[in-house]
Amino acid sequence: MERDDIIEYSLYTHHDEDQGKKLRKKIWMVTLLLTVVTIIEVVLGAMIKQDSTAWPYVKITFIVLTLLKAGYIVLSFMHLGDEKKVMKYVILAPYIVFIIYLIFIALTEGAYVGNALDSYGA
């Protein structure tokens, strides 16, 4: 019986010079973006001090910019964006669910432990 649900794949994922040109252009655009984001982060960090009232917003900006950078590295440089959808989510889902949960728990708990140490002594 012929099966039509088998997806074939090949190691010969070659492309020609014209496609290469397009791909390289994309790579350099991503490079520019990552560099600009890093510069913005450093300038923001140098300009706004940690005791200023704007600092919490700067902090959130840093985290958003980091996730943006990470997204471009994983999806573009590591070509995860070009893989099958199911593979993409097998790799990304653990982080989206697990890490966010852990960060929330650990930081909240950490702050409480800090308060307890302050009140009752180490």
Partner 1 sequence: MAGHASNELSTEFPWGGKVSPFSTSYGKLMMWFFLVSDALTFGGLLIAYGFTRHSAQDAWPIGEETFNSMPFLGHGYPLLYVALMTFILIVSSVTMVLSVEAGHRMDKKGVIKWLALTIVGGFFFVGSQAWEWSHFIHGSEFGKVELADGSQAIVKGHFGEIESFKVVTAGDHHKKGEEIEEDLLHTYQHAMAEGKIKHDGKSALLTLHDGSIVSVKKAADEHLELVIKTNGEKYKIGNKIEGKEALNIYGEAVYSGEKNRVIYGANLEQNEYGPQQYGQFFFFITGFHGFHVFSGVIINIIILMGVIKGTYHKRGHYEMVEKTGLYWHFVDLVWVFVFTFFYLV
Residue 40 as a binder of partner 1 (CB under 8 A): the answer is no
Q: Evaluate whether 109 touches 117 at the Cβ level (below 8 Å).
A: no
User: Within positions 56 to 95, which residues make up the interface with partner 1, using CB under 8 A?
Assistant: 59, 62-63, 65-66, 69-70, 73-74, 76-78, 83-84, 86-87, 90-91, 94-95
Q: State the Cα torsion 54-58-59-65 to the nearest 10°.
A: 170
> Distance (Å, rounded) from C-alpha 108 to C-alpha 104?
6
Give the separation between CA 65 and CA 28, rounded to whole angstroms.
19
- One-letter amino acid at 88 equals K
User: Which residues bind to partner 1, rule: CB under 8 A?
Assistant: 3, 5-17, 20, 23-24, 27-28, 30-31, 34-35, 38-39, 41-42, 45-46, 50, 59, 62-63, 65-66, 69-70, 73-74, 76-78, 83-84, 86-87, 90-91, 94-95, 99, 102-103, 106-107, 109-111, 113-114, 117-118
